[in-house]
Structure 1
Amino acid sequence: MISTRTVGILLFNEVEVLDFAGPFEVFSLAEDNVNNKHFNVITIAEYQAPISARNSLTVIPDYSFDNHPTIDILVIPGGYGAEKVEINNPVVINWIISQSKLAELTLSVCTGALLLAQSGLLAGKSATTHWMDLDNLALYPNVEVIANTRFVDASDETTKLVTSAGISAGIHASLYCVEKLLDSQTMQTTARRMEFDIE
């Protein structure tokens, strides 16, 4: 029996749908050669109540900040709710800080990078985000902003940290994280199952 890691995906009102659904799909599909899942994927919001994602998709989070299990991989999606609302929510920012310290790896998608920057987690690191928000990320003077890339791995000896560009780039970055955490074969098998071109 393989050891299963828990992937915790943050949800909030006006979260970009593919920002969280892409990583959800990737990590949920990653299996070994006898179909044992490598990851248990859960969604978490500040409150365990329905949230309204972009374009009015209603999603019910599995857990709240108060009752979720230990997270091994933390996923921070973006969207209007990230860059305009939750970036000013100290409860969310402090939760991200505390969970990133406990998690084995933190991944942001799109403008989720702005939440990481606001949390101070990108200080002294390179990062990327949606091309429309690169200038906003550059407002944080201690972040080296990388444009024209699908994702940036800023991991070091103490932290595993990956940021990705906009929306669909979160799928590419999640597959990269599968390879980083497991192996290339599992990543390639997952990508093929999703019919996602990793080249």
Structure 2
Amino acid sequence: MSFGIIVFPEVEELDFVGPWEMLTMWSKLAGGPANCLIVAEKREPVSCAKGLSINPHVSFAECPPLDYLLVPGGMGTRREVDNPAMTRFLADQAPGCKALLSVCTGAFVLHAAGLLSGRTATTHWASLDRLRALGDVKVVEQRFVQDGNVWTSAGVSAGTDLMLAFIAHTAGEEAAAKVQLQAEYYPADTVYGSTASHERAPAYVKRPSQASGSAA
């Protein structure tokens, strides 16, 4: 099995590094894909949103057929939705993929390649209205959502949850459990400061009244 994660200039680092960590642990611990690849339009260093530079394994032209493919988000997606090389690569790979995944605004890149129309999907909280404006996507405000073989997640850190849930769905809960334990991924439910009171805070974030109610 081959799993590819696409990167591009100004990709958000945690959008792909979080899923990459879960993916490669799956591969090493629980029989996950043997071939895990970072894929970019060209095989040269890619400068990410926060300054990290990453070296892709393969270019679009060199990439083998993939069983699974993930598109992360970041400000660079604003450009990639109009990049014919990107949308053509996705459209060419998609028919042979068992699953397509996106994190954050990577959903817009899937849509630009014709792979999200008619689906239920989510994205970063600040881009939910923009996704709704496309008109042919049923937008939900959830940490992640599956619609058939297409999985989408909310922003940045949500990609880690997406990948862990995908592993559980694909390989079983025990496989996901091994990955979760090795990664020590047991997120705290602390909500700092006024985060939950922000008018556009994600709906799934516990409000102070909810938190106190659950404690009682």
Query: Quick check: TM above 0.5?
Result: yes
Matched, 1:138 2:132: yes
- Equivalence for 1:19: 15
Verify: 1:182 aligned to 2:171, yes or no.
yes
Match of 1:107 in 2: 101
Which runs of structure 2 are paired with 1:105-184 in the superposition (5 Å)? 105-147=99-141, 149-155=142-148, 160-184=149-173
Residue matched to 1:6:
2
Indicate the percent of aligned positions where both proteins have the same amino acid. 35
Q: SS of the residue aligned with 2:100?
A: strand
Measure, in 2, the Cα distance between the counterparts of 1:187 and 1:9: 19
RMSD over equivalenced CA pairs, Å: 1.5
Residues 108-137 of structure 1 deviation map (CA, whole Å, 9 limit, x = unaligned) = 000000111222211111000000110111
Matches within 5 A, 1:89-108: 89-108=83-102
- Equivalent residue pairs, number: 187
CA distance in 1, matches of 2:85, 2:107: 17
Return the TM-score normalized by structure 2. 0.83
Shift of 1:106: 0.6
TM normalised by structure 1 equals 0.89
Specify the structure having the higher radius of gyration (Cα). Answer: 2
Q: Report the 3-state secondary structure (helix = DSSP H, G, I; strand = E; otherwise coil) of the residue aligned with 1:167.
A: coil
Return the letter of the residue paired with 2:96: L
Mean Cα deviation higher: 134-143 or 188-197? 188-197
In structure 2, runs of 5+ residues without a counterpart are 190-216
Q: Aligned equivalents of 1:174 and 1:127: distance in 2?
A: 15
Distance in 2 (alpha carbons) for counterparts of 1:146 and 1:38: 29
For structure 1, the residue ranges without an aligned partner over 5 or more in a row are none
Distance in 2, matches of 1:8 and 1:101, equals: 14
**1:29 and 1:37 in contact (8 A); partners too:** no
